């Protein structure tokens, strides 16, 4: 693939209105080979991106100061071997302040801008379209598919909500997400069409005047009735994406209500295993059998709040490869976590999982995504990219792109608006069972008396989603 410069900006579609004034970036930050329109194609239920040349640019970080450039790349960007970066420096594909460096031992200093042009291979995401729940002059309410990140990050660029919507509506269109869902989570998201609309909606979410309902599928028979979990949550490792219930964590409160329980089927051999229900490590569940569909009503908005609280209650999300992983948390799956548990041991096992096992939930943490995804996929026998000589890998299955967690409903406390989706397929009754096919019922916990639960005087919510 040849390096083809992007066309001049006046070749792109015009800006939709004057709400998005164009500002020239500094020359060093321009990607000279940024393709437009994005080279998408659909195949086997996946949205794929034809590999393209792309230039990464970053300022020197504090920990890089005084270090050799090859040492920085080899230790910080481990998706490729040190030999690749050595050759990239020699070939001039790695430059500093816009100029080739004379040696792999060149020292990086404060203020330097490092650029790396490479042949970019993006992971596929689902080909499921981004559903439009509502649209007006200020806001678009979408039904985000699972397996699609919101922003370009890590190995994802064009395969993100922002870039897919931009490709659909025109290069100059500037989508402004007001809430955030993890890549693995599906459901309601708000996209502002202009800055004021995005700020207004974000302020409502922070001020807790927006009520949210999630739907999830968890291991075992979740108890009936309204279950309140108010255990504080501590971020143990940002790099590994690990959060746990800890007394010194941030206050976190969630109301849960079971929608349905589907017991396991007898396989005829005296044991019962839920059809198709296996743990992320490929092992069938032995002790927690069957599964429940549960409605979740987060009062606070801590990172991974729903996933951590469900794990603490002994009913982790069925296909959550972090919090429902037996090889990390043992047979108890982290139920009733104790302060005496060794977090270092948990992190060690989780880190090994990212390098050795199939665990898609770690794939949105940049440190682990490449090592994990490449071990997860089957390497195509002897097949390499003809442009950059990188190994090629088979694609994940569509079912591997998300977890059973869906943001089903967002509504304004004042009653001005109410947006919701139907139940996802994985929440519908399995063959041979009867159960709810809608997410609503006579008793609506969205109207739960928070004052009675002692939750009425909460501090302002963090601008981060609970998934």
Question: Would the CA dihedral through 201, 207, 211, 213 be positive or negative?
Answer: positive
305 SS3 class: helix
Q: Exactly one of 168, 182, 281, 389 is catalytic; name it.
A: 182
CA distance 326 to 339: 19
For residue 185, give both structure tokens.
């989570």
For residue 140, give both structure tokens.
């678009």
CA distance 42 to 20: 31
Question: Strand pairing partners for 186?
Answer: 406
Q: What is the bridge-based pairing of β-strands 291-298 and 210-219?
A: antiparallel
Count Cβ atoms below 10 Å from residue 186 Cβ, excluding itself.
30
CA distance 88 to 265: 56
Nearest to 125 by CA among 464, 375, 404, 401: 401
List Cα–Cα distances, 95 to 34, 100, 265, in angstroms. Answer: 18, 5, 60
Is 418 designated active site?
A: no
Are 404 and 318 a contacting pair, CB within 8 Å? yes
Q: What residues are annotated to the active site?
A: 182
């Amino acid at each position: 693939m040849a390096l083809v410069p992007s066309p001049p900006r006046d070749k792109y579609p015009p800006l939709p209105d004057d709400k998005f004034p164009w500002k020239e970036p500094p020359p060093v930050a321009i990607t000279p080979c940024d393709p437009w329109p994005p080279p998408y194609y659909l195949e086997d239920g996946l949205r794929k991106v034809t590999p393209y040349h792309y230039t990464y640019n970053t300022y020197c970080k504090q920990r890089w100061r005084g270090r050799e450039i090859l040492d920085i790349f080899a230790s910080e960007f481990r998706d490729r071997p040190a030999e690749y970066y050595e050759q990239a420096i020699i070939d001039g594909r790695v430059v500093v302040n816009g100029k080739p460096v004379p040696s792999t031992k060149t020292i990086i200093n404060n203020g330097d801008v490092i650029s790396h042009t490479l042949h970019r291979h993006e992971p596929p995401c689902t080909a499921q379209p981004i559903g439009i729940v509502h649209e007006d002059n200020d806001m678009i309410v979408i039904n985000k598919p699972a397996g699609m990140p919101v922003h370009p990050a890590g190995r994802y660029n064009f395969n993100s909500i922002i870039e897919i919507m931009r490709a659909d509506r025109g290069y100059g269109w500037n989508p402004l997400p007001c809430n955030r869902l993890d890549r693995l989570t599906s459901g309601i998201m708000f996209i502002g069409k202009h800055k004021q609309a995005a700020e207004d909606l974000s302020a409502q979410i922070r001020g807790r005047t927006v009520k949210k309902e999630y739907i999830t599928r968890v291991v075992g028979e979740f108890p009936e009735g309204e279950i309140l979990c108010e255990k504080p949550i501590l971020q143990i490792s940002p790099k590994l994406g690990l959060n746990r219930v800890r007394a010194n964590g941030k206050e976190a409160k969630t109301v849960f209500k079971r929608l349905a329980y589907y017991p396991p089927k007898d396989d005829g051999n005296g044991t019962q295993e839920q059809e198709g229900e296996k743990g992320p490590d490929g092992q069938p569940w032995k002790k927690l059998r069957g599964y429940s569909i549960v409605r979740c009503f987060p009062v606070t908005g801590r990172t991974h709040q729903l996933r951590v609280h469900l794990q603490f209650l002994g009913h982790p999300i069925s296909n959550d490869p972090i919090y429902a992983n037996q090889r990390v948390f043992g047979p108890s799956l982290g139920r009733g976590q104790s302060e005496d548990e060794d977090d270092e041991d948990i992190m060690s096992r989780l880190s090994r999982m990212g390098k050795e096992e199939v665990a898609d939930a770690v794939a949105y943490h940049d440190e682990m995504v490449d090592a994990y995804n490449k071990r997860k996929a089957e390497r195509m026998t002897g097949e390499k990219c003809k442009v950059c000589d990188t190994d090629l890998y088979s694609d994940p299955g569509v079912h591997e792109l998300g977890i059973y967690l869906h943001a089903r409903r967002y509504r304004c406390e004042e009653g001005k608006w109410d947006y919701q989706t139907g139940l996802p397929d994985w929440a519908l009754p399995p063959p041979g069972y009867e159960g709810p096919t809608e997410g609503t019922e006579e008793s609506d916990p969205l109207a739960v008396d928070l004052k009675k639960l002692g939750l009425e005087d909460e501090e302002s919510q963090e601008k981060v989603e609970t998934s």
